[in-house]
Amino acid sequence: MRLRIIACRVLFRELSLLAAQSSNVIDTVFLDQRYHNQPETLGKALQESIDRTENEKGPPAHSPYAETLDYDAILLGYALCSNAIVGLRSAKYPLVIPRAHDCISLFLGCRKRYKRYFDEQPGTYWYTRGWMENVLMPGEERYERTYRHYREQYGEDNADYLMRMEQDWLAKYNRCAFIEWPDIPAQGQKKQTKKAADYLNWAYDEHRGDSQLLRDFVEGRWDDRFLIVKPGKTIGPSFDEGVITET
C-alpha cells in the first residue's frame, strides 16, 4: 500500500521510525504542535493538508512527467484532540484515525492503559521526547522564560499577576510521568523531567511506551482500535467508548 500520514510533530520520531521499518510506501507530513492551542485552527490546517494530498502530483520512477499520486488511505496521526478532527473529510481517500481522546494513548499503545493510570493518578502531566522537543514543558525553564516574556511585554506588576494565573492552572497537577519509547533514546529527556518534578515538587514516574498500536496503524492492520472513514464521509465524536465515528 501507499499511505499518506498527516500527524502532529510530537509524533515525528515514533512515526518516522515505524515508517522506515514498514513494508508499505509511506509519505509523511508533520504539522506544528502549536496548532493545538486553537483546535479550530488545527482542524483547518488538517483539512487543508487532506485537500492538498488529494491533488498532489509527483514524478513516478518510470516517467519524467508529473502524475497524480494515488494513495490507498490517509492516516491521521491525531486523537480527538479537543474535537479538532471533528468534521474532517476526504472526497477521494479513506481516512484512518486511532480511537483515542489524546495522543498519550498513542504513546502508551492502548487507551485503556491510559485510562487506568489516569483514574489512579488524575493529576499527571505527561512528558515524552517529542513533546519536550516541541513544547516548553512545566519546569524551571518554562517559568523563567514565561516570566521574562510577561515582564518585557506587560511590566513587572502585570507579569506577577499573569504568573499567578499560570501557577493556578498548574495546581491541578502533582506528578510528572515520562514515556520512554522502544528504540528511541531519551536519557537526557528523562533527567530533564526528573529535574522538572523536583522543581515543581511533584512526584515522578516512568512508563515504557508500546509501539504496537502505531505499528499496526502504519502497517494497515486496522481493526476496531481504528476508525476508517469512507470517502465523502466525515469524522464525528461518538460520545461513547468508540470515541469517534463516521458521519
**pLDDT, tens digit (0-9, with 9 covering 90-100), for 115-128:** 999 999 999 999 99
DSSP3 helix / strand / coil % (the chain, rounded to 5): 45, 20, 35
Across all residues in the chain, what is the average pLDDT? Answer: 92
Rounded Cα gap, residues 221 and 14, in angstroms: 17
**pLDDT, tens digit (0-9, with 9 covering 90-100), for 6-31:** 999 999 999 999 999 999 999 999 99
14: left (phi over 0), alpha (psi -120 to 50) or beta: alpha
**pLDDT, tens digit (0-9, with 9 covering 90-100), for 36-51:** 888 889 999 999 999 9
- How do the domains of the chain map onto residue ranges? 2-102+211-246, 107-208
Three-class secondary structure of residue 180 per DSSP:
strand
Three-class secondary structure of residue 98 per DSSP:
strand
DSSP assignment string, 31-73? E-GGGGGSHHHHHHHHHHHHHHHHT-EE--TT-SS-EE---SE
Would the pLDDT of 178 be above 80?
Answer: yes
What pLDDT, on the 0 to 100 scale, is given for residue 40? 87
What pLDDT, on the 0 to 100 scale, is given for residue 68? 63
**pLDDT, tens digit (0-9, with 9 covering 90-100), for 204-244:** 999 999 999 999 999 999 999 999 999 999 999 999 999 99
What pLDDT, on the 0 to 100 scale, is given for residue 167? 86
* Greatest CA separation for the chain: 66
Average pLDDT over every residue of 172-177: 96
Average pLDDT over every residue of 180-194: 95
Q: Which of 34-38, 133-137, 167-171 has the lowest mean pLDDT?
A: 34-38
Nearest C-alpha neighbor of 88 from the set 52, 55, 54, 44: 44
